[in-house]
């Protein structure tokens, strides 16, 4: 997804302070040589509140340092660093932490001419290897508080709220335009890695771009960022593309990410793309060797036009977001990233010509329907044994439907979850989880509520029929749990 320049200002990582003088406003500006930047000691941040993230032993999922399951529930705040004030950032972070999000996806630099809320530029000469710094960091003094001070503040804020920051160093459009050289990109990545070595940083190399374009640059950035053993790295690809297509064998790529994108079935033109069937990207990644986690890092956002660019088209809704979430996770995904059109671009009343037909302002939709439903998925996945979970379509005996009719199933040793978007009856093969008996429940993905269906012998098959809903979309999750003997 590409964001229009008229509302974007970038995000970034702060640089070390050195001294040089001579600006008209008597600001003291850091203009040291890059060698000095590279050698400066990075500002230390307390990361004791967040554990190191790692890949689980079975290589399918994420876990914390003490091997506790980590279900990636991301929110998209691409322009957080550039559009929000300190006070607004607190409001946003508080809200997302309260709703159970644990990863925030953000751009460090969306444009090379980026400025933040306070008017501070990110770069000198629009060159990624020349960060623009001022001595001091007093937020009340515009002659001190620079772009990178603001980034530092928000990065630290995320840690305090218990969330990880998944940061795109520089958005792919800048590279595609020829405005970032291989040499400058490598120096910039080295500086970022040294400065932002904190455990709660995750790197999203790329940024809505194709890995077969400027491949040497993206590989160099990935290799250069990969100097902190306690940080994870992936590649954020172009719409309807996967990181695994180009970089799966790279040592720096710890996990895969795909962007299922915004097109309806009838809008899809590429043979290798899957329209709305985002679970197919997971299925493709799931069989690759070596095994790596994968997730949908950019599905259709809530309240964005279908097809992305034409506001006269219908808009994607909370129902669609739920479908993407459960489909991708039940097919083997290690998590899911949610997004809302207004929030990802931090749309404000003063913004002229907002991107992608944004109809609301960011602070008006913090409690949108879709965002409030994401925590139910996370809670469900963490309520059962985690690392033994596998996708298992053999559980669904009548799975002949396509598109919205398709049913996705996943199971562990003593449970099985089956998702239907349309509420169609499902014939389920029993006997695939432990126990002589199982207990069945309906789980409402809109509310997170469970209702008991009954207890059954764990043999043969059984047809489960969801109750009709007053809502237009009648999606349900069938829960089957072993009964302890």
**Residue from 301, 354, 363 nearest 75 by CA:** 301
In a domain, 95, yes or no: yes
Pull the structure tokens for residue 93. 């972070």
**Distance, CA of 335 to CA of 69 (rounded, Å):** 11
Partners of 63 in the β-ladder:
54, 69
| Residues 121, 176 within the same domain | yes
For the chain, what is the mean pLDDT? 91
Give the list of residues 6+ apart from residue 180 with CB closer than 8 angstroms, or none.
Answer: 112, 128, 170, 174, 188, 217
CA distances from residue 252 to 128, 140, 201, 227, 232 in whole angstroms, order as listed? 21, 40, 15, 9, 8
Residues 247-259 have pLDDT tens digits of 999 999 999 999 9
Question: In this structure, how many other beta carbons lie within 10 angstroms of the beta carbon of residue 372?
Answer: 16
pLDDT value at position 63?
98
What's the number of domains the chain is made of? 2
Q: Residue 5 pLDDT > 70, yes or no? A: no
Shared domain for 356 and 230, answered yes or no, is: yes
Q: Is there a single domain that holds both residue 209 and residue 278?
A: yes
Q: Does one domain contain both 69 and 172? A: yes
Q: Are 103 and 339 in contact (CB under 8 A)?
A: no
Question: 1 in a domain, yes or no?
Answer: no
Identify whether 10 is part of a domain.
no
Q: Which two tokens stand for residue 336?
A: 């899911």
Query: CATH number, domain at 334?
Result: 3.20.20.80
Is residue 34 within 8 Å of 297, Cβ to Cβ?
no
Domain end: 359, 381, 403, which one?
Answer: 381
Structure tokens at 254: 């710890």
Residues 304, 414: one domain? no
Q: Compute the distance between CA of residue 11 and CA of residue 173 in angstroms, rounded to an integer.
A: 14
Task: Tell me if 8 is assigned to some domain.
Answer: no
pLDDT band at 272 (very low <50, low <70, confident <90, very high): confident
Among the residue ranges 144-148, 261-265, 425-429, 465-469, the one predicted with the least confidence is 465-469
pLDDT at position 271 over 90: no
Q: How far apart are CA 39 and CA 20, in angstroms?
A: 17
| pLDDT for the residue numbered 18 | 33
Task: For the chain, give the percent of residues with pLDDT over 70.
Answer: 90
3-state SS, the chain, equals CCCCCCCCCCCCCCCCCCCECCCCCCCCEECCCHHHHHHCCCCCCCCCCCCCEEECCCCCCEEECCCCEECEEEEECCCHHHHCCHHHHHHHHHHHHHCCCCEEEEECCCCCCCECCCCCECECCCCCCCECEECCCCCCCCCCCCHHHHHHHHHHHHHHCCCEEEEECCCHHHHHCCCCCHHHHHHHHHHHHHHCCCCCEEEEEEEEECCCCCHHHHHHHHHHHCCCCCCEEEEEECCCEECHHHHCCCCCCCCEEEECCCCCHHHCCCCCCCCCCCHHHHHHHHCCCCCCCEEECCCCCECCECCCCCCCCCECCHHHHHHHHHHHHHCCCCEEEECEHHHHCCCCCCCCCCHHHCCCCHHHCCCCHHHHHHHHHHHHHCCCCCCCCEECHHHECCCCCCHHHCCEEEECCCEEEEEECCCCCEEEECCCCCCCEEEEEEECCCCCCEEEEEEEECCCEEEECCCCCCCCCCCEEEEEEECCC
Residue with tokens 């002589």: 436
**Quick one: 405 and 374 in the same domain?**
no
pLDDT band at 472 (very low <50, low <70, confident <90, very high): confident
Domain assignment present for 455: yes
Please name which of 117, 112, 99 lies closest in space to residue 181, comparing C-alpha atoms.
112
What number of residues does the chain have?
A: 485
Q: Would you say residue 98 has pLDDT above 60?
A: yes
- Same-domain status, 322 and 434: no
Residue 317: pLDDT over 60 = yes
Residue 15, pLDDT > 70, answer no
Query: In the Cβ-directed half-sphere of 344, how many Cα atoms lie within 13 Å?
Result: 27
- What per-residue confidence (pLDDT) applies to 399? 78
Q: Are strands 461-464 and 256-259 parallel, antiparallel or unpaired?
A: unpaired
Average pLDDT score over residue span 270-276:
91
pTM of the model: 0.91
Q: How remote is the C-alpha of 305 from its chain's centroid?
A: 20
Number of Cα atoms under 13 Å in the Cβ half of residue 241: 19
Largest CA-CA distance found in the chain, in angstroms, rounded: 82
Residues 279 and 415 in one domain: no
Residue 221 lies in a domain: yes
Q: Are residues 99 and 230 in the same domain?
A: yes
Please calculate the CA angle 138-144-145 and round it to the nearest 5 degrees: 65
Asked if 177 and 259 sit in the same domain, the reply is yes
Q: What is the pLDDT of residue 38?
A: 35
The Cα–Cα gap between 154 and 88 comes to 10
pLDDT grade for 33, boundaries at 50, 70 and 90: very low
- The answer to whether residue 12 is domain-embedded is no
Last residue of a domain, one of 381, 409, 444: 381
Q: Which domain holds residue 417?
A: 392-482
Residue 99, in any domain of the structure = yes
Map tokens 């069989």 to a residue. Answer: 287
Structural domain ending residue among the three candidates 351, 381, 411: 381
Residue 1 — pLDDT band, cuts 50, 70, 90?
A: low
Same domain, 127 and 251: yes
Q: What is the pLDDT of residue 42?
A: 34
49 lies in the same domain as 162: yes
């Amino acid at each position: 997804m590409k964001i229009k320049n008229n509302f974007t200002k970038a995000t970034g990582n702060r640089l070390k302070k050195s001294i040089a003088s001579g600006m008209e406003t008597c600001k003291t500006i850091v203009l040291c040589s890059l060698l000095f930047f590279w050698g400066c000691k990075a500002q230390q941040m307390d990361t004791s509140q967040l554990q190191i993230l790692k890949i689980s032993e079975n290589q399918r999922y994420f876990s914390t340092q003490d091997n506790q399951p980590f279900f990636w529930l991301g929110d998209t705040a691409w322009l957080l660093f550039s559009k929000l004030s300190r006070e607004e950032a607190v409001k946003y972070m508080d809200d997302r932490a309260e709703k159970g999000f644990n990863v925030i996806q953000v751009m460090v630099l969306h444009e090379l001419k980026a400025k933040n809320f306070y008017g501070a530029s990110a770069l000198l000469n629009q060159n990624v290897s020349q960060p623009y710094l001022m001595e001091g960091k007093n937020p009340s003094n515009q002659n001190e508080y620079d772009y990178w001070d603001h980034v530092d503040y928000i990065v630290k804020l995320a840690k305090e709220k218990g969330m990880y920051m998944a940061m795109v160093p520089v958005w792919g459009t800048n590279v595609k335009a020829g405005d970032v050289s291989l040499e400058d990109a490598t120096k910039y990545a080295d500086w970022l890695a040294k400065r932002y070595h904190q455990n709660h940083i995750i790197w999203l190399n790329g940024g809505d771009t194709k890995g077969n374009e400027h491949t040497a640059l993206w590989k160099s950035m990935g290799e250069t960022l990969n100097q902190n053993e306690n940080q994870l790295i992936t590649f954020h690809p172009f719409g309807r593309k996967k990181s695994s297509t180009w970089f799966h064998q790279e040592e720096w790529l710890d996990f895969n990410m795909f962007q299922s994108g915004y097109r309806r079935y009838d809008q899809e033109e590429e043979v290798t793309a899957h329209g709305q069937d985002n679970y197919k990207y997971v299925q493709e990644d799931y069989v690759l060797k070596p095994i790596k986690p994968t997730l949908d890092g950019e599905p259709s956002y809530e309240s964005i036009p279908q097809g992305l660019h034409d506001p006269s088209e219908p808009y994607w809704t909370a129902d669609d977001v739920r479908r993407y979430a459960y489909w991708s996770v039940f097919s083997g995904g290690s998590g899911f990233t949610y997004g809302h059109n207004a929030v990802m671009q931090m749309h404000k009343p003063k913004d002229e010509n907002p991107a992608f037909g944004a109809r609301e302002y960011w602070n008006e939709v913090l409690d949108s329907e879709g965002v409030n439903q994401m925590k139910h998925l996370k809670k469900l996945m963490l309520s059962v044994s985690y690392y033994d979970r596998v996708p298992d379509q053999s559980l669904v005996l009548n799975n002949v439907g396509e598109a919205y009719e398709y049913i996705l199933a996943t199971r562990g040793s003593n449970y099985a979850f089956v998702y239907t978007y349309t509420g169609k009856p499902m014939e389920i093969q029993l006997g695939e989880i432990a126990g002589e008996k199982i207990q069945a429940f309906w789980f409402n993905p809109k509310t997170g509520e469970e209702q008991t269906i009954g207890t059954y012998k764990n043999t043969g098959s059984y047809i489960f029929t969801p109750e009709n809903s007053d809502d237009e979309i009648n999606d349900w999750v069938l829960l089957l749990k072993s009964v302890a003997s």
